[in-house]
Structures are given as C-alpha cells and as structure tokens.
Amino acid sequence: MPFINVHIGKPVSEDKKTEIMNAIASHMPVIPGKTIDNTMIEISSGRDMFMGGEKRSLIFVDMRVFGPAPESAKNEFVQVLTKEFEEKLDIPASNQYYNIIELPGWGAGGGFKSF
C-alpha cells in the first residue's frame, strides 16, 4: 500500500484537491502492483513553505511504498505527476520535490508483513 502525502505551498480548493487525487490515482499503475485501490493519499494545501529564506509556492511529495520499485517506474511516476501539477496548480517543475521511500516492512489490517 503506497502512502502519498502532497504538501502544497499555496491554497487549493477542494475541487482542485479532488482533481489532484484523481491525477495521482490515474498514474498509480506506473508503479508495478500499485493501484488507487491500495493507495492512501493525503493532500495539504495552504502550507507555509520556505526555500532560501523566502516563502514560495512549492510542492513536496512524500511517497512511501512497501518493497522496491524499478527505477524507471519511479522516474516515470515523478515525470507524470510533475506535468500534472504544473498544469493543475501552475507550480513549475523547478518548485516541485519528490521523495520515494521504499520500506521493507508494512503494518496493516492488524498485522505486519516484511518484504
């Protein structure tokens, strides 16, 4: 089960959040074995985000996945989300940052599973 936390450094309407969630969902199959049905998404907007001592419109995506994913799939996933966020949020690629953490263990449904 992936968990994706999207931090957005400007206010975003609930309708726009739904658009973003749908964009993420439509691209989940890029990561082998991942679908919207097994993905948890959190979208936070209006965040105070600073870089270089200045408040900026930034995006930080923190993604956690159970087990390894191919480098090519992770690259494609970042590329398609970057494009989606540029179009939907008007935040350029230069202001978007991604973190994909591959975990060897995951707890869910009352139990723990190791990779």
Rg (CA), the chain: 15
Classify strands 59-66 and 96-103 as parallel, antiparallel or unpaired: parallel
Place of tokens 């907007």: 45
Q: What is the pLDDT along the chain (115 residues), one digit of tens a residue?
A: 899 999 999 999 999 999 999 999 999 999 999 999 989 999 999 999 999 999 999 999 999 999 999 999 999 999 999 999 999 999 999 999 999 999 999 999 999 999 8
Q: Give the pLDDT confidence score for residue 93 in this predicted structure.
A: 98
In this structure, which CATH number among 3.30.70.20, 3.30.360.10, 3.30.429.10, 3.40.50.720 belongs to the domain 12-55+65-106?
Answer: 3.30.429.10
Query: With a threshold of 0.85, does the pTM exceed it?
Result: yes
Place of tokens 């739904």: 18
The residue type of 90 is: D
Torsion of CA 36, 18, 83, 29, to 10 degrees: 10
Q: Give the pLDDT confidence score for residue 115 in this predicted structure.
A: 80
Beta carbons within 10 angstroms of residue 29's beta carbon:
13
Q: Give the pLDDT confidence score for residue 1 in this predicted structure.
A: 83
Could you tell me how many helices (H) and strands (E) the chain has, helices first? 2, 8
